[in-house]
Structures are given as C-alpha cells and as structure tokens.
Amino acid sequence: MCNNIMVCKFLIQDLKVSLCIANLVHMTAVMVSPALKAQKQELSLQDRVTYNMKVLIAIRQTSQKDLAQAMGIAAPTLSQKFSGRTRWNMDDIEKASDFLDVKPEALVAGHGFEPWTSGL
C-alpha cells in the first residue's frame, strides 16, 4: 500500500505507460506479422529495417511524416522505402536511428531492437 500519494500517482502513471507501450508493440506486431508469416522465410535486411522502424515509430508514438522530416526527405520518399520500392541506405539508417533514439544496429538487428530498448 502506498503511504505517499505522489509515489502512488507516479507508480500508477508508470504502469499506464508500460501498458501503453506493450499495447503498441502488440498492435504493431499484429499489423506486420501476417505479411511476415506469409513469407515463411528469413527477412531480408531491407525488410528487417522496415519492420524495426515501424515498431519503433509505434513505440515512440510518432509518425512516418515526422521521421521523414527528421531524415530530411519527403514523406512520399520515405513511404517508398517502407513499401520496398526504394532501398534503405546507411545514411537513412543513421538519421532514423538518431530520430528514434536507438543505435543504428538496432534497426538492422534480426531479433528486433529489444537489447537496446529493454530499459523502456
């Protein structure tokens, strides 16, 4: 039981944020996973980067438009990268990782970005 009202409010708020992040990760996985399951093969590096960026955008509660602006590219150009029509390059990964506040390795990791964000 909480003796201090401020501590209780903080703990409740922290729990709400944790639940929100868990819900966003689940929603993103549900949105992305049917396409991944249909492939039944190892993801390409390009697909892995796209997947990890989509998850991080959801967790950070930002948008592709904000990411495009931070990367210094037009939103339609970023949309082409997300759809696979245009390939991600090293500059893209570096700029996106800065904006999403993760190491560039987190965007190309085959196991997702968990090791770098486990402290969330």
pLDDT in tens, 93-108: 999 999 999 999 999 9
pLDDT in tens, 50-70: 999 999 999 999 999 999 999
DSSP annotation of 6:
H
Domain 5-115 fold: 434 Repressor (Amino-terminal Domain) (1.10.260)
Section 35-54 average pLDDT = 77
Res 41: pLDDT: 60
Domain boundaries, the chain: 5-115
**φ, ψ at 42 (rounded to 5°):** -65, 140
